[in-house]
A and B are shown apart, each in its own frame.
Chain A
Amino acid sequence: MAQAVQTRGPVTGTAAARTRRKKPFLLDLYSTAVGKKYVMAITGIMMIGFVVAHMIGNLKMYLGAADLNHYADFLKHLLYPLAPKGVTLWLMRAGLLAALVLHVHAAYSLTRLNHQARAVKYQGPRDYQVANFASRTMRMTGIVVALFLIWHLLDLTFGTVNTVGGSGTFVREDVYQNVVNSFNRPVVAIFYILANIALGVHLFHGTWSLFQSMGWNNPRFNSWRRGIAAGIATLVVVGNVSFPIAVLTNVVG
């Protein structure tokens, strides 16, 4: 395809190309915008898998303290005795952390790219036709989820803020009681609900979008993508939001 193209002298105002250094293969792929979107989609799928499994696992809460705590203990014994206790869980955590870091890095650098691509904004009002609330707030909902994630880990994993402004003590093995103590603080419960709605909005666009980004396109199934996205988003939000409500209404507690 190496057809010689005569480079013309600069016409007034012709856009200049951004130059890109050649890098090792995978880094080179990641340095393109389309490559970053593959990474966003793949890391997104990993995190969707986690979020859905996390929600389903937590439904054990409705079976009582013993069941939930038993489930938490089971997670530590994944693949045990093949792998030592806790190792599989830590590997999964490491994978998720890596996915999160890549996802956020790609989001950050694509956002910068997109701002550069329209350095001078439209001066009159825009009239969007199909871009919806979800697609236009991916950055905001993403940031809300990230902030929530930090709180959530400090609250229920490390226990640092588990009883601040509430009652009881944090006991690592008593997952059930920790959850109840946390959600008995209405402000925490409300933040938890809002953050999950933000996550749902993120997934409503993200789960649809990832099919496009990966090029998983089949005219027979394309119409299902919206439904799949709405289904996953609803499943996650309804499941997760039910927990604080159950605690506040004393269904769980």
Chain B
Amino acid sequence: MSHHLQNLVLKIWRQTGPNDAGHFESYRIDDISDEASFLEMLDVLNERLIADGKEAIVFDHDCREGICGTCSLMINGQAHGPQKGTATCQLHMRTFRSGDEIVVEPWRATAFPIIKDLMVDRAAFDRIIEAGGFITADTGGAPDANLIPVPKPVADAAMDAAECIGCGACVAACPNGAANLFTSAKIAHLNLLPQGQAERYSRVEAMVDTMDQYFGSCTNHGECEAACPKGISIDFIAMMNQDYRKAKFKNRKALART
């Protein structure tokens, strides 16, 4: 049995472009099914705005099933809203009550400039991946599956890190605007596996140094882990800090040999 929410007040951030100051605007909305997702509720609101000849609210979304990392939104002061372990697209209106006021803001970080309204530019994450978040591919025929044995616990840990969908909730939730959880997950899922070993230390150095050019610093609050829709552990941050420390010394020695 679906139920409908009435008299919701949405306080939504509106900003015409990167250089606009922006402001909150309040919208009242009724008759929202509690089976609607948060994004569907925004769709309904946008339909009404368009019907009234007003400009629709811009927000990011794509897969709407929690796998692409495109959706964002700071909902009532929490990245991806109040539900644990889910992205905004998987948040449903049954989490709210009739009469609630819901404050919706974009991710805020200097590295994520606002494009418009609730949409931000997360290209700084791409810069980090470009610096080393890949394995230099071998050419030639495709290797047989399972040619390289990987111990089960290692494969599991790498998989946990690889769950990162790159949505940026960690940066948004971090009081310092740091990207250590994202970067460490992207490093760990390659650095744990045998295929990642050749570039292990050059990878961590390049990726952390790139992260350093855009983001804040980690104080180990743990807000990122709590906000992460995939529940990625801050243990990966410790792993990254360890590999970076080793890399700085190892890479220096390696350079001295050339």
Residues of A whose CB lies within 8 Å of any CB of B are: 1, 3, 5, 11-15, 17-20, 25, 29, 32-38, 110, 113-114, 116-131, 135-136, 138, 205, 208-209, 211-217, 219, 222
Q: Please determine whether A209 and B220 come into contact, CB atoms closer than 8 angstroms.
A: yes
Given contacts A124-B103, A216-B238, contact A135 B221 (CB under 8 A): yes
Residues of B whose CB lies within 8 Å of any CB of A are: 11, 13, 17-18, 24, 74, 76-78, 82, 103, 105, 108-115, 121, 123-124, 127, 130, 132, 134, 136, 173, 175-178, 199, 202-203, 206, 208-210, 212-223, 225-227, 234-235, 237-245, 248, 252
- Chain B hits for A116, CB < 8 A: 110, 216
CB < 8 Å neighbour of A15 from B77, B212, B214, B219: B214
Do most interface residues of chain A lie in helix, strand or loop, or is the interface mixed? loop
Q: Please determine whether A1 and B203 come into contact, CB atoms closer than 8 angstroms.
A: yes
A11 and B235 alpha carbons, distance in the complex (Å): 34
- Chain B hits for A37, CB < 8 A: 217-218, 241
A209 and B221 alpha carbons, distance in the complex (Å): 8
Q: Which of A11, A25, A32, A138 has the most CB of B within 10 A?
A: A32
A14 and B123 alpha carbons, distance in the complex (Å): 7
A127 and B109 alpha carbons, distance in the complex (Å): 17
Q: Please determine whether B208 and A34 come into contact, CB atoms closer than 8 angstroms.
A: yes
Q: Please determine whether B242 and A114 come into contact, CB atoms closer than 8 angstroms.
A: no
18 of the cross-chain contacts (CB-CB < 8 Å) are A1-B202, A14-B123, A15-B110, A20-B209, A33-B212, A34-B212, A35-B248, A118-B110, A118-B177, A120-B110, A122-B77, A127-B77, A131-B221, A135-B221, A213-B220, A214-B245, A216-B242, A217-B239
A32 and B245 alpha carbons, distance in the complex (Å): 11
A212 and B245 alpha carbons, distance in the complex (Å): 12
Q: Please determine whether B103 and A11 come into contact, CB atoms closer than 8 angstroms.
A: no
Nearest residue, chain A, Cβ from B180: A34
Q: Please determine whether B108 and A121 come into contact, CB atoms closer than 8 angstroms.
A: yes
Nearest residue, chain B, Cβ from A222: B235
- Chain A hits for B178, CB < 8 A: 33, 114, 117
Q: Please determine whether B238 and A212 come into contact, CB atoms closer than 8 angstroms.
A: yes
Q: Please determine whether B113 and A20 come into contact, CB atoms closer than 8 angstroms.
A: no
Given contacts A37-B218, A122-B105, A211-B238, contact A136 B175 (CB under 8 A): yes
CB < 8 Å neighbour of A135 from B78, B219, B245: B219
- Chain B hits for A122, CB < 8 A: 74, 77, 105, 108
CB < 8 Å neighbour of A32 from B82, B114, B208: B208
